[in-house]
Amino acid sequence: MKITLEKGENLEVIIVDKDKVVGKLLLQLLAQVAVPSEKTSQSELKADTPAKKPRKRTLSPEARERLAQAQRERWARVRAMKEQQGGGQQA
């Protein structure tokens, strides 16, 4: 569109026209994304849904005790290393 006006007005007309075109394109894009087409199969719709959360894993009491014992042994090694290096002084 070519309109001969003063310099400032000419620029405003171009900007308004551009905004109209962008708005129309955005509406068309949103309409396509929001409404799935009739060709969309059920499996394609399911692919868009989020996956189920994994179940919480539970440990047996024996396994929990093994983990706790291993952690106690690790901390014992850390304390032993501290005593060797700094003499074990506490404030």
Q: 10 CB contacts (<8 Å, ≥6 apart)?
A: 3, 4
Q: Tens digit of pLDDT for each residue in 4-17?
A: 656 666 556 566 77
Provide block-wise average pLDDT over 10 residues at a time, the chain (91 residues).
59 69 80 64 63 87 97 96 78 49
9 is a domain residue: yes
For residue 70, the surrounding DSSP H or E stretch is helix 61-86
Nearest alpha-carbon partner for 69 in 58, 61, 57? 61
Per-residue model confidence (pLDDT) at position 1? 53
Q: Which domain holds residue 14?
A: 1-35
Number of domains in the chain: 1
Supply the pTM of this predicted model: 0.35
Per-residue model confidence (pLDDT) at position 25? 79
Per-residue model confidence (pLDDT) at position 6? 60
14 is a domain residue: yes
